[in-house]
Structure 1
Amino acid sequence: MSKLIVCSEADLPSVNMRASLLRMHEWEDLGSFDGSSYMSSGDCLMMSIPDMHIRHDGLDREAERFGIKVDSVIVMSRHSAKSGRPALTAHPIGNYHEAEHGGRPETLVRACPSEMTDAVRRIHEYNRDPGVQTCFEVTHHGPYLDKPTFYIEIGSDESHWGDMHSAELLAHVISDLEPHDEYPILVGIGGGHYAPRFTEAVLSSKVNFGHMIPNYQLEGRDDDDIARMVRDACDASGTDSVYVHRKSMKGPEAHRISDIVRSAGFDTVASKDFEPISGN
Structure 2
Amino acid sequence: MTQFLIITSNKDAASRNIKDKFIISNNFKFERHRSKWHNNQLYKLESFFIDKTDNRILDDNEVFLGLTNERLIFLNDLKLDQTDINPDILIFASRHSSKSGKPALLVHTTGNWKGDIRYGGSKKIISKSSALLLREGYLSLIEHSSNPKLRKFSIDIEVTHHGPTDLDVPLIFMELGSDTRDWNISAAGQAVAKAIISTITRYSRIKEDSNLKIGVGFGGTHYAPQFQKLIRKHDIAVSFICPKYFIRYLDQNCITQMIEKNKEPVDFFLLDWKGLNSKDKDHLMPLLEDFDIPIKKTKDF
Distance 2:105 2:223 in 1: 11
Q: Secondary structure at the match of 1:32?
A: strand
Residue 257 of structure 1: which of 281, 284, 288 is its match?
284
Q: Secondary structure at the match of 2:261?
A: helix
Asked if the contact 1:109–1:145 (Cα under 8 Å) also holds between the matched residues in 2, the reply is yes
Distance 1:248 1:34 in 2: 42
Distance 2:112 2:40 in 1: 26
CA gap 1:118/1:33 in 2 versus in 1, 3 angstroms: closer
Partner of 1:278: none
> In the TM superposition, what is the alpha-carbon distance from 1:139 to its structure 2 partner?
0.9
Normalising by structure 1, we get a TM-score of: 0.89
| Deviation per residue, 1:243-263 (Å, 9 max, x gap) | 011011235643652342122
Residue 193 of structure 1 pairs with residue 218 of structure 2: no
My pick for the range that moved more, 67-76 or 258-267, is 258-267
Partner of 1:141: 162
Asked if the contact 2:157–2:224 (Cα under 8 Å) also holds between the matched residues in 1, the reply is yes
My pick for the range that moved more, 34-43 or 77-86, is 34-43
Residue 67 of structure 1 pairs with residue 84 of structure 2: yes
Partner of 1:203: 232
| Deviation per residue, 1:101-128 (Å, 9 max, x gap) | 1111121111122122111112123223
> In the TM superposition, what is the alpha-carbon distance from 1:271 to its structure 2 partner?
3.9
Counterparts of residues 89-128 of structure 1 (less than 5 Å): 89-98=106-115, 99-128=117-146
> In the TM superposition, what is the alpha-carbon distance from 1:34 to its structure 2 partner?
4.6
Asked if the contact 1:211–1:234 (Cα under 8 Å) also holds between the matched residues in 2, the reply is no
RMSD (Å), alpha carbons: 1.9
Partner of 1:86: 103
| Deviation per residue, 1:146-199 (Å, 9 max, x gap) | 100000001111121111111101111111220243112110100111111111
Partner of 1:6: 7
Distance 2:158 2:44 in 1: 29
Q: Percent identity?
A: 23
Q: Secondary structure at the match of 1:21?
A: helix
Q: Secondary structure at the match of 2:129?
A: coil
My pick for the range that moved more, 31-40 or 96-105, is 31-40
Gaps of 5+ in 1: 275-280
My pick for the range that moved more, 14-23 or 252-261, is 252-261
Distance 1:231 1:265 in 2: 12
Partner of 1:77: 94
CA gap 1:231/1:145 in 2 versus in 1, 3 angstroms: same
> In the TM superposition, what is the alpha-carbon distance from 1:130 to its structure 2 partner?
4.7
Partner of 1:268: 295
Q: Secondary structure at the match of 1:218?
A: helix
Displacement over 6 Å in runs of 4+:
none
Residue 29 of structure 1 pairs with residue 27 of structure 2: no
Distance 2:174 2:19 in 1: 12
Distance 1:245 1:226 in 2: 18
Residue 154 of structure 1 pairs with residue 176 of structure 2: yes
Instruction: Name the count of aligned residue pairs.
Output: 268
> In the TM superposition, what is the alpha-carbon distance from 1:64 to its structure 2 partner?
5.3
CA gap 1:79/1:53 in 2 versus in 1, 3 angstroms: same
Partner of 2:260: 235
Q: Secondary structure at the match of 2:29?
A: coil
